[in-house]
Amino acid sequence: MTNLNATIMTAASARLSDSQDSLSSEELRPMGALPLPADAEVRIAGAVREILEALGENPEREGLLDTPQRVAKMYLEVFSGLHQDPRDHLKTQFSADRHHGAVIVKDIRFHSMCEHHLLPVYGKAHVAYLPAGGRLTGLSKIARLVEGFARRPQLQERLTDQIAQGMEDVLAPEAVLVVIEAEHMCMSMRGVRSPGSTTVTSIARGTWLRDSAARMEIMSLLRS
């Protein structure tokens, strides 16, 4: 993403928001799967119909007739990450006894939804890790991890944190670095109307949290 009108860089840190408010607990924002109510689609469609009526629209007119159903299916798709544990993808593992360097997967494109406005957030995630004991996962599994956490109502900071935590939970690497660059439609198409501004967040864990020179080296590889 080259159009950096506005950039917010969070410092490499341990869990970002744990100390800031009690809502960040695992109970309230679980990394794992939430149950999907059996009547989810019907209820979402009913709510969408209500919104259309509240706007003064006629949900019975031809163009809107199937819209509540379509939106319900769309929400179940874009929020499908709520009903899986994205960490499960990382259980596909290999051992490589000769590779001891960093593994970097750059430019993982993702789409998410901002939890404040339920508008799209889209961009790229870059994930780097230093395998411990030669323990590797499949490269596509890292992209699946990103997609799983992205397909939830999210904050960009939490998305960054959950990806790093997921890597730690399953692979226990020596170090992890996650950088996300994204555009928030709630800043582009409404409110402040600042199209093209990009938010950048980063989290470092393990040796890359403590060793700033090593962290900067990986960061420069991510940005090259």
Residue 114 annotated as part of some ligand binding site: yes
By beta-carbon proximity to ligand GTP, the closer residue of 34 and 189 is 189
* Burial track 11-20 (b if 16+ CB lie within 10 A, e otherwise): ebeeebeeee
135 binds Zn ion (CB under 5 A): no
Residues in contact with ligand GTP by the rule CB under 6 A = 114, 116, 155-157, 184, 186-187, 191-192
> Within a 10 A sphere around the Cβ of 23, how many other Cβ atoms?
9
Structure tokens, 93: 């593992």
Give dist(CA 25, CA 125) in Å, integer.
Answer: 24
117 binds Zn ion (CB under 5 A): yes
> What are the φ and ψ backbone dihedral angles of 212, each rounded to 5 degrees?
-70, -30
Catalytic residue among 84, 114, 126, 165: 114
By beta-carbon proximity to ligand GTP, the closer residue of 137 and 198 is 198
> What are the φ and ψ backbone dihedral angles of 7, each rounded to 5 degrees?
-125, 130
99 among known catalytic residues: no
By beta-carbon proximity to Zn ion, the closer residue of 84 and 112 is 112
116 among known catalytic residues: yes
Residue 89 annotated as part of some ligand binding site: no
Give dist(CA 157, CA 159) in Å, integer.
Answer: 5
Write out the binding residues for Zn ion, residues 179-218 only, by CB under 5 A: 186
Hey, which residues are catalytic here? 114-117, 156, 184, 186
Binding residues vs Zn ion (CB under 5 A): 114, 116-117, 186
